[in-house]
Amino acid sequence: MAVPTETIIIPSAYTMNKLHKGEYCKLYYFTNWGLAEDESSLPSLDNDALTLMKSENSTHSFIALSSAKAKALLVKDDNLYWEEVGQANFHMINVMHQCEWANTHVQMHIDLWLTIETHEWCHNTSPFNKATLLTYQAHVRRLWHRTIGLLASFDLTILNLSLLTKTRDKLVHNASMAQIALMQQVHPLPLSNIYFHLQLHSPPNFPVVIYLA
């Protein structure tokens, strides 16, 4: 076989290992940026070597070097641009075939992403609607992997409208609470005044929701 002219797309050892095992993997690793960053990083003599990492709860543990490299580059699904989501879907589907996933499982992911990308919220001006779709697909893909072979297993292609709405409400709530916390740090105000200021200064299409305990 001759030397290839085109660039060969090879995901990181971490992501290939994930898909060979049939496990959940975040989209960023399969975007053009994610693949380029992995290609430009120096290869390790032993990606299975262990390195010490600090977790979010401040505990230390040893994890595989390939896993540590991948996590250092990570961008969450809901922070990706739609163009990057399309890149990731295309590359991930190809790798699924390389890893000999069942055709039904591959097709299920294709149908899920088509449903997400053609949903009316994808073409809405509200940033929450697009973030909701990306957060939803990440959640259901992760849950699908955990329930394979169990009685709780389900069809990814069936859109759960109740879960979609619940996901959006949570994103709106978190954004509202973050804005309130920021305003209180700058200048403490009574709750009624905070609500007034949120309405006055929020950008267009930003839903102001105040949750009272």
Most distant pair of Cα atoms in the chain: their distance: 73
- Cα distance between residue 151 and residue 68, in whole Å: 34
Q: What digits encode the pLDDT tens for the residues 128-157?
A: 999 999 999 999 999 999 999 899 999 999
pLDDT, averaged across the chain: 79
Instruction: Let me know if 176 is exposed, middle or buried by CB neighbors in 10 A (0-12, 13-18, 19+).
Output: buried
Contact predicate 55/61, CB 8 Å = yes
HSE (side-chain half, CA atoms, 13 Å) at 46: 6
Contact predicate 208/192, CB 8 Å = no
What is the pTM (predicted TM-score) of this model? 0.71
Structure tokens given for 164: 């979609």
Q: What digits encode the pLDDT tens for the residues 32-72?
A: 988 887 665 545 444 555 445 555 555 655 455 444 454 55
- Cα distance between residue 23 and residue 29, in whole Å: 14
